[in-house]
Chains A and B, each alone.
Chain A
Amino acid sequence: MTATTEARSPIPAPRSPRNRRTTRTNYELYGWVFMRASGVLLLVLIFGHLFMNLIDGDGISAIDFGFVAGKWASPLWQVWDLLMLWLAMIHGTNGVRTIINDYAERTGTRVVLKSALYLAFTVTVVLGTLVIFTFDPCPPGSPADLLPSFCTA
C-alpha cells in the first residue's frame, strides 16, 4: 500500500492524532487502567476465595451458615470479601458497560440498559457491604447446631 492511497482513505492512518472534539475527559483511560489493576488483584482474591471455599477441607459440601460465620469472625476475610465485592462489581460493571456500548446501537436502548446496570451495581454493592458489616454470627433464638461453635462457648 502506498502513501497516496492511505492519504485518500476515509480511515485515518494508525497513530494519527485523534479528533478530540467529542471527549473532554480521560475517564475512559482511567477505566482502562482500572480494569488491568483490579484484574491482577481480583486474580489473587478470587483464586484465594475459590481455594478456601471449594478446594480446602470438604469444599462446597462443607459450606453452611457456620462456615461463613467462622470465616467472618476473622477481620482478614471480612476485608478480603469486602475488597473482592467492590473490585469485582466495579470491574464487572465497567465490562458490561463496554459490551452495552458496543452492541446497543440505539441511544434509548443504551440508556435503559445502562440504567438497569447501574441500579444493579448500587443495590448489590450496598447490600453486600451492609451484610459484611452488620453480620451477626450468633443470631439469638437460632438452633445451636446451625451456629459456629464459638457462639455456645
Chain B
Amino acid sequence: MPEAPAGTLYRGREGMWSWVAHRVTGFLIFFFLLVHVLDTALVRVSPEAYNAVIGTYKNPVMGLGELGLVAAIVFHAFNGIRVMLVDFWKNGPRYQRVMLWVVVGLFVVTMAGFAPRHLMNVFGGH
C-alpha cells in the first residue's frame, strides 16, 4: 500500500514539487517583467535617466539577483518543455519523473555555463 499523503501535501514527490517550482518561478518572472518594461521605457525619457537606472543593475547585489532571475527562467523553460512532453508525448506521463531529473541536469549544466560568465561581467571591474 502506498503511504498516505501527510498534512496538506497533495501527492508530494517530483510531480507536485516541479509544479510548485513552475508556479513560483513563473510568478517571480512575471513581476520582474513588469519592472523590466518600466526600466527599459526610460530610454524614451533620456539617455541619462536610462543609464542611471540600468547602472543599478550592475551593482553586485543586483548581479546576484540577475543570476537568480536567469536560474528561474532556465528552470521554467526546461520544465515547460517537460510539461509539454507529458501532455503531448504518449510516453510522457510514464517518464515524467525521469524527465524532471533530466530538467535538473540540463539546468545545472546551463547555469554552470552562465554563472561564471555573468559573475565575471558583474565583478570583473569593467
On chain A, the residues within 8 Å of B57 by CB distance are: 60, 63
Least distance between B10 CB and chain A CB atoms (Å): 12
Contact B84 A139, beta carbon cutoff 8 Å:
no
- Chain B residue nearest to A57 (CB atoms) is B121
With A60-B121, A65-B47, A147-B47 as contacts: A99 and B77 at CB distance below 8 Å: no
Q: How many chain-A residues does the 8 Å CB contact rule pick out?
A: 43
Contact A128 B41, beta carbon cutoff 8 Å:
yes
A39 at the interface (CB under 8 A from B): yes
Contact B124 A68, beta carbon cutoff 8 Å:
no
On chain B, the residues within 8 Å of A146 by CB distance are: 47-48, 51
On chain A, the residues within 8 Å of B33 by CB distance are: 88-89, 92, 124
Contact B118 A54, beta carbon cutoff 8 Å:
yes
Contact B58 A61, beta carbon cutoff 8 Å:
yes
Contact A128 B40, beta carbon cutoff 8 Å:
yes
Least distance between B79 CB and chain A CB atoms (Å): 10
- Chain A residue nearest to B70 (CB atoms) is A50
One digit per residue, 1 when the CB lies within 8 angstroms of any chain B CB and 0 when it does not, for chain A 98-129 equals 01000000000000000000001000100110
Contact of A68 among B38, B43, B87 (CB under 8 A): B43
Q: Which of A1-9, A23-31, A40-48 contacts B (4 or more CB under 8 A)?
A: A40-48
A74 at the interface (CB under 8 A from B): no
With A40-B84, A89-B33 as contacts: A99 and B44 at CB distance below 8 Å: no
With A43-B80, A92-B33, A131-B40 as contacts: A60 and B51 at CB distance below 8 Å: no
The contact sample of 24 A-B pairs, CB cut-off 8 A, is A36-B84, A39-B77, A43-B77, A54-B114, A55-B118, A59-B121, A60-B57, A60-B118, A61-B122, A63-B57, A65-B47, A66-B47, A89-B33, A95-B27, A124-B37, A124-B38, A127-B41, A131-B44, A134-B44, A139-B46, A142-B48, A143-B47, A146-B47, A146-B48
Q: Hey, which bits of chain B sit against chain A, CB under 8 A?
A: 23, 26-27, 29-30, 33-34, 37-38, 40-41, 43-44, 46-48, 50-51, 54, 57-58, 63, 66, 70, 73, 77, 80-81, 83-84, 87-88, 114, 117-118, 120-122, 124, 126
Extra 14 A-B pairs, beta carbons < 8 Å, given A60-B57, A124-B34, A124-B38? A39-B77, A55-B117, A59-B122, A60-B66, A64-B50, A65-B50, A66-B47, A68-B43, A96-B26, A120-B34, A131-B43, A131-B44, A146-B48, A147-B47
